[in-house]
Amino acid sequence: MATVVLGAQWGDEGKGKIVDVLSEGTQLCCRAQGGHNAGHTIVKNGKTFDVHILPSGVLTEGCVNLIGTGCVIYVPGFFKELEMIEAHGINLQDRVLLSDRCHVDLDLHTKVDGLEEVELGKGSIGTTGKGIGPTYSTKATRSGVHIADIFNKEYFDDKVRNLERGYKKRYGDLLQYDLEDELKRFDDYRERLKPFVVDQVPLIESAVKGNVRMLVEGANALMLDIDNGTYPYVTSSNTGLGGIFTGLHLHPRKIKETIGVVKAYTTRVGGGPFPSEQLNDIGERLQVVGKEFGVTTGRKRRCGWLDLVVVKFSNAINWYDAINLTKLDILDDFDEVKVATEYTHNGQKLASFPADLHVLETMEVKYETLPGWKSKTVGLRQYDELPENARKYIEYIEKFVGVPVKYIGTGPGRESMITRTNLIIILVMMQASKKIPFEDPMVLNAVRALYVVSNLIIAGVYFYTKMQIDKKRDMTVLKYVEPAAMGSTEEPKAVTTTVHAYDLSQLRGLFKSQLMGVGMTPIMPTYFNYTNPLLIQSIIPLKGAFEGNLVKVHLLGQSASGDLKRPWKAAAGMMGMMQGQGAGEIKTDKKSIEAAERSGRGGAKEE
């Protein structure tokens, strides 16, 4: 079964990073369309890799990488990327494959690409100038060159000569192209290419039948799709889910999950409509902080607020199972963030993203303003560590688009990624429980036993953690301001305590949450007819217990998540959320403490 990763905007969303992360354990990583006009930046082990045509799985040991039939290949660039990767000590022997049905992007196509842009004048598309459009054009007019054609020298040379002759008739002396030089270079490439070239059809068929774990990496993005994008300001291939089926010969029923990659704001390279573009200091700030320069061309990217109309339109075509939200950290210092939520034209609300360029140029964009979080999210690994307003931003996106945000990027490195595993487990358990025969007493009792064992393990972990806290008896003094309860009119409370007392109070809260969960469980199965709660409540709390800061520090000897100094500003997994700590933010600065003490609430020492 295959996992498919697709860009949901105008490209440059950060697809390479999620593909790199997901490629661990993947046996076959594939590209289905596009060429070296696509650029992916991957940071691995402190090294930055810019790849254009090779699948991102080349950086994962043991992963085989296939460039599929729907792609177009610039052969010099292909070899250049291979050499760049191998120069870093990464072995690519027998790990890169190239479909013999791919079309060849010649230097001739690149020359023609530039001439076509000049010919269009003010109406130029703003292409990458890599020859992609002309290559797909010759493919469509049945005059192009297959990879398979390269190995028949006479046939290949004749086809290239015919192409050059046709373009000469159109452009005359404007076409400055050395035909013989290109043919000579392919004489050198011919033998070098042979070990990489395969027949893709039996390869994919065998992979599907053998239940090989496949990862498919889309190039460009939905809004650049030749059929569904902002035509004519698009690329020349199908960049959506449809392009995966045709470019890889993959059956729709063999796709396990489709992930849409969405940047936390919006960018675009080149010309064309961009409804939420900010031609002001906001756009410049996003460009500078986000380092928005094209991997392929080096051009500055146009920047604007997140356009949820675009993302929803993209989802209506690609039907995402989950979203990967990238570069959330770029918005950390904004006082407020906006999202585009509606288009209107001549006073009428538009139902979707319009195809008419005139409408796109004259319509009005409605924005929703959300509060910023003014707090660093760089490098965070747990969802509960995110500032409250950052979580609200993510949840607003989920509600508007109707797709869960499963992965959240918090920095350039592959380790700077939040995976909402609790959400994944719940969804899996809900699906699995539908197939479990709970009407069978033996099955039902087995699930009940699992629930009991899970809670006994949690209780044992907490009791042992208490023993460790008492053994250390850390009497370091803590002073902080505890927020008032949600909905309360009281002022925040100044607290003076010790690390020992603080840790014990946190542990009491965890015990209380566990008991509340146990108390609710007899009611929940009655309502749900034993379909979900027992399974979910056997796994999520156990996972949360081991993810909590107290257990990490006192039992596992690991670093706590979030702020390492007590009081912890990150909730301890799901348990922390149940305690309602998200109602306000704990403050430790001197000014806030003095203000709370003057208000008359606090100052009482807890130990």
CATH of the domain at 139: 1.10.300.10
Q: Is residue 399 part of an annotated ligand binding site?
A: no
Cis peptide before 567 (omega within 30 of 0): yes
Asked if 108 and 94 sit in the same domain, the reply is no
Q: Give the CATH number, domain containing residue 380.
A: 3.90.170.10
Q: What is the pLDDT of residues 483-507, one digit of tens each?
A: 765 555 667 778 888 888 988 988 8
C-alpha 84/C-alpha 482 separation (Å) is 53
C-alpha 607/C-alpha 602 separation (Å) is 14
C-alpha 49/C-alpha 40 separation (Å) is 8
Q: Is residue 298 part of an annotated ligand binding site?
A: yes
Please determine, for residue 147, whether its predicted confidence score (pLDDT) is greater than 90.
yes
Range of lowest pLDDT (4-8, 127-131, 332-336, 450-454): 127-131
Asked if 365 and 255 sit in the same domain, the reply is yes
Q: What is the side-by-side order of every strand in the sheet holding 197-198?
A: 197-198, 96-99, 64-67, 28-31, 214-217, 2-7, 255-263, 322-326, 405-409, 417-419
Q: Is residue 411 part of an annotated ligand binding site?
A: yes
Q: What is the DSSP letter of 497?
A: E
User: What is the amino acid identity at position 603?
Assistant: G
**Residues labelled as active-site residues:** 12, 40, 139
Q: Which tokens in the block code for residue 534?
A: 């027992």
Q: What is the pLDDT of residues 368-390, one digit of tens each?
A: 999 999 999 998 988 888 999 99
Asked if 92 and 131 sit in the same domain, the reply is no
Q: Is residue 369 part of an annotated ligand binding site?
A: no
CB atoms within 10 A of CB 114: 16
C-alpha 87/C-alpha 96 separation (Å) is 16
More confident residue, 174 or 432: 174
Let me know if residue 432 belongs to a domain.
Answer: no
Asked if 191 and 209 sit in the same domain, the reply is no
Let me know if residue 58 belongs to a domain.
Answer: yes
Mind giving me the DSSP string for 133-172? HHHHHHHHTT---BTGGGGSHHHHHHHHHHHHHHHHHHHG
Asked if 115 and 133 sit in the same domain, the reply is yes
Q: Is residue 69 part of an annotated ligand binding site?
A: no
* Nearest alpha-carbon partner for 571 in 584, 582, 560, 558: 582
Asked if 26 and 145 sit in the same domain, the reply is no
Last residue of a domain, one of 418, 447, 466: 418
Q: Is residue 159 part of an annotated ligand binding site?
A: no
Residue 407 has what pLDDT?
95
Q: Is residue 329 part of an annotated ligand binding site?
A: yes
Residue 19 has what pLDDT?
86
> How buried is residue 555: exposed, middle or buried, by Cβ count under 10 Å (0-12/13-18/19+)?
middle
Asked if 7 and 130 sit in the same domain, the reply is no
Asked if 39 and 136 sit in the same domain, the reply is no
Residue 423 has what pLDDT?
58
Indicate the pLDDT class of residue 401, thresholds 50, 70 and 90: very high
Q: Is residue 299 part of an annotated ligand binding site?
A: yes
Asked if 114 and 213 sit in the same domain, the reply is no
Q: What is the pLDDT of residues 249-285, one digit of tens each?
A: 998 889 999 999 999 999 998 889 999 999 999 999 9
Residue 434 has what pLDDT?
64
Q: What is the DSSP letter of 300?
A: B
User: How high does pLDDT run on average in the chain?
Assistant: 85
Model confidence pTM above 0.75? no
Indicate the pLDDT class of residue 118, thresholds 50, 70 and 90: confident
Asked if 212 and 187 sit in the same domain, the reply is no
Q: Is residue 557 part of an annotated ligand binding site?
A: no
Number of H helices and E strands in the chain, helices first, is 20, 23
Pairing of strands 255-263, 322-326: parallel
Q: Is residue 123 part of an annotated ligand binding site?
A: no
Indicate the pLDDT class of residue 569, thresholds 50, 70 and 90: low
Q: Is residue 328 part of an annotated ligand binding site?
A: yes
C-alpha 472/C-alpha 464 separation (Å) is 13
Cβ partners under 8 Å of residue 181, min gap 6? none
Maximum average pLDDT range among 5-19, 124-138, 328-342: 328-342
User: What is the amino acid identity at position 250?
Assistant: L
Asked if 214 and 164 sit in the same domain, the reply is no
Please determine, for residue 319, whether its predicted confidence score (pLDDT) is greater than 70.
yes
Number of domains forming the structure of the chain? 3
Cis peptide before 492 (omega within 30 of 0): no
User: Using an 8 Å Cβ cutoff, are 159 and 135 in contact?
Assistant: no
Q: Is residue 410 part of an annotated ligand binding site?
A: yes
Range of the domain at 72: 2-100+199-418
User: What integer is the mean pLDDT of 526-548?
Assistant: 65
Q: Which parts of 473-555 fold into alpha helices (H)?
A: 499-520, 523-528, 533-547, 549-554
Asked if 381 and 286 sit in the same domain, the reply is yes
User: Using an 8 Å Cβ cutoff, are 277 and 269 in contact?
Assistant: no
